[in-house]
Amino acid sequence: MSLTFDRAINLTTAAGTIGPFLWTVVLYRSELRRRRPAEADAKRRQAAHVTGWVDQRQRPTEETPDEAFLVLHNLSTLPIRNVAFHIIDFHGELHVEPFGFVPPGETIETHPSRFGRAILVPNQAMPLAFGFADAAGNLWFRDWEGALREWPANGDPEWYQPMVARWRPIWAPDTATVVPPRVHP
């Protein structure tokens, strides 16, 4: 089998066509890898500006007990919705209590008694666990350590229950204050 001039031209043409195609694929994949962190940062941008904590307030006299408030701060320029506090009751049971909507730039405070059950509030200030949806509809969860995580749309993620089990002792009756429900006339 001898290499003819026509055959050599065909091989050169094939290599000249395949080479740029492969180079384009390599550049495209490189560009995708470069963009992923920027897209992830853009997706998290609003959620990163939402924080929550348990705020301890001392009362002016010894006869009145200290009070705790659940504080949620939306520093973003867009509203958040479907806010739900993840709180532990007096029996160590986790409850997800819906709160609703928080406008942009607003700080909301609510007393734990609004949920109608005795809940435990840590005796020290600490981050508040809550979930919410950003303006784009992405679901987020900020845990008791203040870490922000994306919440999957198809239910509880695998990291949620072990995290609750790890934090349940912090909210135990001997390290927390029981906040009874308020009776509204």
Over the stretch 4-61, which tens digit does the pLDDT of each residue have? 767 767 767 766 777 776 777 676 677 767 666 666 667 889 999 999 988 876 665 6
Which pTM does this prediction carry? 0.66
Residue 56: domain span: 49-179
Q: Are residues 54 and 25 in the same domain?
A: no
Q: Are residues 114 and 129 in the same domain?
A: yes
Give the C-alpha separation, 121 to 141, whole Å. Answer: 19
Q: Are residues 123 and 173 in the same domain?
A: yes
Q: Are residues 89 and 170 in the same domain?
A: yes
Q: Are residues 66 and 144 in the same domain?
A: yes
Residue with the two structure tokens 């997706």: 43
Which residues fall within 8 angstroms of residue 143, CB to CB, at 6 or more apart?
127, 129, 149, 163, 167
Helix or strand (DSSP H, E) at 69: strand 67-74
Give the C-alpha separation, 144 to 116, whole Å. Answer: 22
Structure confidence at residue 127 (pLDDT): 78
Nearest to 118, CA basis, from 140, 154, 89: 89
Which residues fall within 8 angstroms of residue 86, CB to CB, at 6 or more apart?
94, 95, 96, 97, 129, 130, 131, 141, 164
Query: Is residue 120 in some structural domain?
Result: yes
Q: Report whether 57 contacts 67 (CB < 8 A).
A: yes
Q: Are residues 30 and 107 in the same domain?
A: no
Nearest to 77, CA basis, from 135, 151, 149, 137: 135
Q: Are residues 39 and 127 in the same domain?
A: no
Identify the DSSP state of 91. Answer: T
> pLDDT digit string (tens) for 66-84?
577 888 999 999 999 999 9
Q: Are residues 43 and 56 in the same domain?
A: no
Query: Is residue 185 in some structural domain?
Result: no
Q: Are residues 109 and 62 in the same domain?
A: yes
pLDDT confidence of 184, banded at 50, 70, 90?
very low
Query: Is residue 130 in some structural domain?
Result: yes
CA 62 to chain centre: 38
Say how many domains are in the chain: 2
Query: Is residue 14 in some structural domain?
Result: yes
Q: Are residues 109 and 78 in the same domain?
A: yes
